[in-house]
Amino acid sequence: MGLLEIILIAFGVAMDVFAVSITLGLSTKKLKPTTIIIPGVYFGFFQSLMPVLGYFVGIYFINKIENVDHWIALVLLGVIGGKMIKDSFAKDNSEESVDKNSFCFVKMLILAVATSIDALAIGITFAFFKVNIYTAALIIGLITLVIAMSGVVIGNIFGTKFSSKAEFIGGAVLIIIGIKIVIEHLFW
Digit-coded pLDDT (tens) for 32-47: 999 999 999 999 999 9
d(CA 113, CA 111): 6
| H or E element that contains 30 | none
Is 177 a residue whose pLDDT tops 80? no
Better pLDDT: 141 or 171 = 141
Which helix or strand (DSSP H or E) is residue 178 part of?
helix 163-187
Among candidate residues 95, 91, 61, 94, the one with its CA nearest the CA of residue 76 = 61
pLDDT of residue 91: 54
Give the model's pLDDT for residue 95: 44
Assign 98 a pLDDT band (cuts: 50, 70, 90). Answer: very low
Give 66's pLDDT tier (boundaries 50, 70, 90): low
Q: Is the pLDDT of residue 96 over 70?
A: no
CA distance 64 to 41: 36
As a whole number of angstroms, the distance between CA 73 and CA 110 comes to 26
Residue of 47 and 81 predicted with greater confidence: 47
Angle (CA) 127 118 157, round 5°: 135
Over residues 122-148, the pLDDT tens digits come to: 898 898 888 999 999 999 999 999 999
Q: How confident is the model at residue 97 (pLDDT cuts 50, 70, 90)?
A: very low
d(CA 75, CA 77): 6
Q: Within 10 Å of residue 44's Cβ, how many Cβ atoms?
A: 25
pLDDT for 17 beyond 50: yes
Statement: residue 159 has pLDDT above 70: no
CA dist., res. 79 & res. 155, Å (int): 27
